Each structure stands twice: as C-alpha cells, then as structure tokens.
Amino acid sequence: MNAVWIAAALLAAGFVGWPVTALVFRLARTIDDKADAAAAGAGRDSADDPSADVTVDNPATADSPAPGDRAAGDGANTVNGDITVGAGTAAAPASGGDAPATRILRGGAIIGVLERLAVCLAILAGQPVAIAYVVAIKGLGRFAELKETPVAAERFIIGTLASMLWAAGVAAFTKVVLLG
C-alpha cells in the first residue's frame, strides 16, 4: 500500500504542480498589473519610480501584441505562454522597428515537472539535502540567461519557489499522514 501512496504523491507533485505554479504566475502578474495601474493613476511614471518593479513592460510593445500572443491583455511579453524579450537584451527595441522576440526560460515546464519529482522523491526518501542539488543544478543551468534578463530572473524565482513548496507540501503530507 505504501508504494501506491508514494506513486500517487509523485504524480500529484509532478503533474498537479504545473497548474498550481501557473496560478501563482497569474496571481503575480495580476498584482504587478494592479501596482502599475495604481502608479499610472497617481501620475507617476513607474519606469522612474525606484520602488517600482524593474521589469516594466515597454509601452510601445504593450499596445501591439505580436502574432501568436494568447490575448491582448495577457501581457505583451508572452508568446504561447513563454516569456519573450527583444532579441539581444531585455531592453526596449531600438526606434525604427520592433526587434524579433526571443523566448526565455525555454523548457521550463518540463524542468519544473522534473524538479517537483526530485523534491518529492528526496523528501519521501528522507534525503532533503538532495533538494540543494536540484536548486544548484537548476541555477547553474540558467545562470547566463538569468544574469542577462531581469524578467527571467523574476519568473525563475517565483516558479522555483512555487514549484518546490508544492512538491514539499505533497511529500510532507504523504509522509506524515498517509505513510505515518
């Protein structure tokens, strides 16, 4: 019976964690949008506000979503659910035309599933130190991209924390309540 609970915990941590993490991303985006709207309503330019988020969307691209965007109000920096930035850097494209969009944090959904499986398995096996290895490998693999793009760094932190908390919660529940 323990094997069934462990398999169920791994499935719940790995695959149910994706919608949970997506919900956290949506909540973070909603909070950012409300903060930007409040800053605009107060007459302040959020790009000049030192307390504002450093990942302010470029107004030129926010008015004209690229083809393939999920929805016009879903954020100008996403294409089919992936964050995009102008080619080369995270800065706004040069005047005279839009730079082609480059996807950042590619493969994040698959990496997230593997990360949640590893975290859940580490806790169920009584080896929580293995979680540090998962975080280190993930951080080293993404370091160059995170250094170049503040949007990617923010998404990486939010996704990693949400993903790991979900997996740790499922594993802890399984270990304490179901495997007792």
Place 93 in a pLDDT band, splitting at 50, 70 and 90. very low
What torsion do the CA atoms of 76, 78, 79, 85 make, to the nearest 10 degrees? 90
Are the beta carbons of 68 and 79 closer than 8 angstroms?
Answer: yes
Length of the chain: 180
**Domain containing residue 101:** 2-178
Position 86 confidence tier, pLDDT thresholds 50, 70, 90? low
Reported as a single tens digit per residue, the pLDDT across 97-152 is 555 666 777 888 899 999 999 999 999 999 999 999 999 999 999 898 889 888 88
Q: How many domains does the chain have?
A: 1
**Encoded tokens for 23:** 């919900």
Buried b (16+ CB within 10 A) or exposed e, 162-173: bbbebbbbbbee
53: pLDDT strictly greater than 70: no
pTM of the model: 0.68
Amino acid at 89: T
C-alpha distances in Å from residue 116, one per residue of 16, 31, 97, 121, 131: 10, 25, 41, 8, 10
The widest CA-to-CA distance across the chain, in whole angstroms, is: 65
